[in-house]
Structure formats: C-alpha cells, structure tokens
Chains A and B, each alone.
Chain A
Amino acid sequence: MKPPPFTYHAPRDLPAALRTLAEVGGKVLAGGQSLIPMLNMRLAAPGHVVDINRVAGLDGIEVSRAGVTVGALARHADVERAGAHPLLTWALKLVAHPAIRNRGTVVGSLVHADPAAELPAVLAVLGGHVRVARWDCGRVTFREIPAAEFFVGPMESAVGPGELAVSAFFPALEEGSGAAFHEVSRRHGDYALAGACAVVGVAGARVACIGVGGGPVVIDVGGDLSSAAARVRDAVDPDDDIHASAAYRRHLVGVLAERALRDAAREGAAARGA
C-alpha cells in the first residue's frame, strides 16, 4: 500500500507548470484525494507527478452575478464555506468526509470524472465550463470546455495531454429557480449508488444523474414533472456491481430524480413568492 516511485516536479508558477507538463507529461497532483489512493493501491503508476500545490494564483473563488469561478487549488471545504452557490454548497456536503474535503479540490474532482461523483453532475446540470491551459509555442494558451463536452467517459475528461485545468465556472441559478441534490450511498460519505440533482426554473427543469452511466446523465425535463421519473429511467444505463444491481439503480435514480425535482420546484416557487 505504498505509492510506486515517480519523478516529482513542484513548479512555482503557471508557465513553469505547463512547460513541465508539455515536456514530461505526467499526472497532475492537486488535492490528491483520488490520485494518492490510486497510487497507494498501485492502480496508477505515472512516471512523473507534477505537484501544482505551490503554483501561485490558482486557489481563487470568485463570485459574480453570472456565477462562481473556482480555481484549481480551491479545496472543497473552502468552497463549501464560501457558500457562493446553493447547489454547489449542497453537493459539497455530500462529498466524502470533512477531512477529505479539507484537501480535495473541486476542479480535481471534475477532471477525475468519476461517474458517481457529485460535482460533475452540478457542472453538467448548470451548463458550466472548465478552463484549461497549455504551453503552446512559448506562451500560455487557454481554452474553455463546456460541461456537455467535458465528461468523455468513466474516469475520463476532455483535458488533453500537457493540459492543466485551471478553473471551473458554475453559472448562478436564474432568478426564481430552485435546486436540490439527493443521493443514496451504502455508507455515509461513500460514492453514491445513484443520485440526482435538479434545477427547476420558470422556463423548465433539468436533472443530472450520477452513478448510472459513463458520466453525469443530463435530462431536460421541460415543464412536465409528473413523467420525469419514467423518462430518467429510460435515459440512464446503469451497471451491475457488488453494491447494487442495475435494475435497483435504475429504479432508485427515478425516485431520487423525482424527489430532487419536487424539492427544487418548491424552492423555486418560494423564491418567486408563489
């Protein structure tokens, strides 16, 4: 249960980090709460680890009317305490345990792209994006990847070789809309068997489901909440494993989606004073 040997890099600024990634490739270490268990269990053995913990300027949490921008070194606990976005704050309370949240990062969780993780679903249901940087012909260049293109498959994001995700943008909830997140896990703090987060506004409703596909499964429910559970069950493609059967997960995600939509709708109605 010890990590395999690797060459360690600890760049001090963004250009140095990107140059290193361009030269050696390697795995980015931010909070390490997913990477280090994988190293300890020898599920991963990267030749190079690029530790970005000393890179200045990546730990910001910027709040504007449009939404919240979370830097690559902003820890779950800091984003949770900032309370800048109701759905993000709700989801963060469902992520593992306080000690893990003190170290783990929001952007790291997105890039890790675990299909049962909460934060990818939040980014997906809100239609946010991830900003990635790379070293290109002697300078730093950026591109923005929308959530719909970011989660490529299980444990695979659209961040390419030599690229570093520097921040994620979570759009604010529209006025008069509500949001909710529900999940069921075997033990408190574990990855969920299934879960669903919903945003319900005047214009319609969206739900993103976790644990039932290769990444977050987003379903536009429109205005008809009564048939939502059936539509969610049709849209998802869960797997069997030792924790739950596919049939149980399909049933469960329908129930959770219905519950999340109902709570989000109630919150939205309250926000509109209805």
Chain B
Amino acid sequence: MEHEITLVVNGTARRARVPARRLLSDCLRHDLGLTGTHVGCEHGVCGCCTVLLDGRPVRSCLTFAVTVDGAEITTVEGLADRDGRMSAVQRAFAECHGLQCGFCTPGFLCTVTALLKENPAPTDDEVVEGIAGNLCRCTGYQNIVKAVHRAAELLAEEA
C-alpha cells in the first residue's frame, strides 16, 4: 500500500506517493530527485544522510518518510540563499579545505548549520562533540573543525 505525503523541502511543498517502508533519505533522493543527501551506512552510524527536520539535524536513513508527513525538511540543496550564494558554513568549508572527496560533506554542512544556530561561538570541545556523529575518511577532521570556527566568524560578521 502506498501513502500520499507532503513534505516541505527547502521551503517548497512537495508531494510524493511512497510505501510505508520508504526511508526519508530514499524519498528525498529517488522520489524528489534531491541527490545532495548522501547515503553511506544506512544504519545511523556515518552521518552522511543528516538533514534538518524542523530545524534539527536527524538521520534521514533512520526516519520513515510517512512518519514526517507535513514536516519541514532542509537538505544541503536548501542551505544556499535564494540567489544561489553559498551559506557561511558552505563558504567556510571551501575556504578551509574542510572536504576532500566530498561524500560526507552534505551531512557535515547540515549538522554544522544547526550546531552554529544553537551555539554561535562554540569551543573546540563543543565543535568536536557537535560533529562526533559524522564520519569523514579523508580529512582527519582538522580542517573541518577549522571550518566550523571560520563559519562562526563569518556568521558573526554578517549578522
């Protein structure tokens, strides 16, 4: 049996017909064509599929699309502003080389966007705790931590 659902994705109401077992990650990628959300481990360990659900980071691979019918979802495609200018977090990651292969990056960007909203000036320890649920096999995390601090600076300057 299929279910008719509506998700407000990056500010736009999107309808989809999905079976109950459709993961939010697959709904975004396959039903809505938003392939920016990456799928790594599909059991909640790697953090690649992290999206914002009503503003909070969650694992889209551990969420059924039907459960969040009506909710607001922000994916990596929704982080830039309307003119296509990258968000402060995205620019900081580029500037500080906070990525190499880029596979984990959408999850990091969503996680860090929420982290800085809640804590605009995190300490090193708070940054590391905040990104602990996202794995990166390339960078060794040093530049990601730098990027988070740089993003905090950019956000403060632009506020």
User: A residues touching B (Cβ–Cβ < 8 Å)?
Assistant: 1-8, 10, 29, 32-33, 36-37, 39-41, 49, 51, 53, 77, 96-100, 102-103, 188-189
Contacts and interface: CB of A to CB of B under 8 A. Distances in A.
Contacts of A40: 23, 42-43, 61-62
Interface string B45-62: 001001001001111011
Interface in B66-85: 66-67
B143 interface: no
B32 interface: no
Contacts of B1: 7-8
- What secondary structure prevails in chain A residues at the interface with B? loop
B111 interface: yes
Interface residues of B, number: 29
B133 A100 contact: yes
B64 A103 contact: no
Contact of B62 (A2, A7, A32): A32
A10 B1 CA distance: 14
Contacts of B19: 5
19 contacts: A2-B42, A3-B21, A4-B21, A5-B19, A5-B20, A6-B21, A8-B66, A29-B64, A32-B62, A33-B59, A33-B62, A36-B62, A40-B62, A97-B133, A99-B47, A99-B111, A99-B133, A100-B44, A188-B132
Contacts of B21: 2-6, 39
A49 B61 CA distance: 17
Contacts of B43: 1, 37, 40-41
Given A7-B20, A40-B42, A99 B57 contact: yes
A8 B22 CA distance: 11
B97 interface: no
A7 B2 CA distance: 10
Contacts of B50: 99
Give the one of A5, A7, A51, A98 with max B CB within 10 A: A98
